[in-house]
Amino acid sequence: MNSLLAYLKKPLILGILAGVLGFGLGLLWGWGIQPVQWKDAPPSLLNPVYQEDLLRMAIDSYALNGDQDLAVKRWESLGEYANRSLEAIKLNPGKQDSSLITQFTNLVAPGGQTVTPLASPVILSGGGISAFGRIALIALALLVIAIVIFAVIKFLKPDLHFGMRNPFKQSGDEPHQVESTDYSALGEQSPIAQFVTTYISGDDLFDDSFSIDSASGEFLGECGVGISETIGVGDPKKVSAFEVWMFDKNDIQTVTKVLMSEHAFNDPSTFQRLQAKGEPIMVERGKKVTLETATLQMIATVSEIDYGQGALPQGSFFNRVTLELAIWQKTAPID
């Protein structure tokens, strides 16, 4: 799961997803919610009803002014659909004088030689999308936007838990503050990034992730910790393993290691199943786990550990685990 989240957080992947989403929403808005309004369209693009009205006016105009050139020009403006409109008028002259219609016909189509339309027109609704349809499309667009915002919050800020209070805050069981290791005081190079994260039983959505940036603010990658395996049934979840992962923007894959409870590590079926996710490691207080990519190195230190008690086997699930993640930038990529 964390590998998938890290993959989705890559700028290129997010850019592609944002582009596809933006294109889809643009089509939805442009075709359904706010379609193009045609203006100054030629008569040949009018609805057949309006084409017939235009031709009736052209016949009346020709009867009054006798301007043959203007009459022919108006006839030709209807394009391939002019004959269809004229035939409709002949069949239903209405209040117009049939002799005037005949005169106009002899002018534009002498000898009765009219041009047959090349193809039947595509009739579009003159009223456009209905009010109900417009409201439905707007509601759909808002729903899509809400889902995208929800997904972004989930992927990029999983520690927010969508406004839920942290379970240990609800119970009043606040974790005590764990100080980060002062590597400079130990005579070692200080890491470029250092994070401390604590899991407490009841935090079923535990999934912390952190951005790794250089001293100049350049994005280098991401790292995090999330629930990998649970044991037993019921709430809250009984967590028996965590995934510690690191993504390097200069590497092609996300490095993952699985931190397992004592029982899970010694259970052959669980060990084999979790081994597919990453290197299995048994959690012990003070344990240091190293993850390396092309340009980054991370040391995950188990600062504190407390197993839960109950009907399940001893040492099978965690009540509290605190991890410190320290990241260094390598001077040169590994060949």
- Give per-residue pLDDT as tens, 134-158: 677 777 777 777 776 766 665 554 4
248 φ, ψ (degrees, to nearest 5): -115, 125
Residues 211 and 148 in one domain: no
CA–CA distances in Å: residue 326 to residues 27, 105, 246, 250, 296: 45, 89, 11, 19, 10
In a domain, 118, yes or no: no
Residues 318 and 205 in one domain: yes
* Residues 6+ away with beta carbon under 8 Å from 198: 175, 178, 304, 320, 321, 322, 323
CA–CA distances in Å: residue 87 to residues 57, 84, 98, 108: 15, 5, 12, 13
Mean pLDDT, the chain, whole residue set: 79
In a domain, 195, yes or no: yes
Residues 17 and 103 in one domain: no
Residues 236 and 133 in one domain: no
- pTM of the predicted model as reported, rounded to 2 decimal places: 0.50
Residue 319 buriedness (CB in 10 A; 0-12 / 13-18 / 19+): middle
In a domain, 180, yes or no: no
Residues 151 and 89 in one domain: no
Residues 287 and 149 in one domain: no
Residues 140 and 257 in one domain: no
CA–CA distances in Å: residue 300 to residues 159, 187, 198, 333: 19, 19, 12, 21
In a domain, 216, yes or no: yes
Residues 23 and 52 in one domain: no
Residues 78 and 218 in one domain: no
Residues 222 and 312 in one domain: yes
pLDDT digits (tens, 9 = 90+) for 89-108: 888 888 888 888 888 888 88
In a domain, 288, yes or no: yes
Residues 200 and 255 in one domain: yes
pLDDT band of 169, cuts 50, 70, 90: very low
In a domain, 121, yes or no: no
Residues 24 and 108 in one domain: no
User: How many domains are there within the chain?
Assistant: 3
Residue numbers of the domain that contains 293: 164-172+189-329
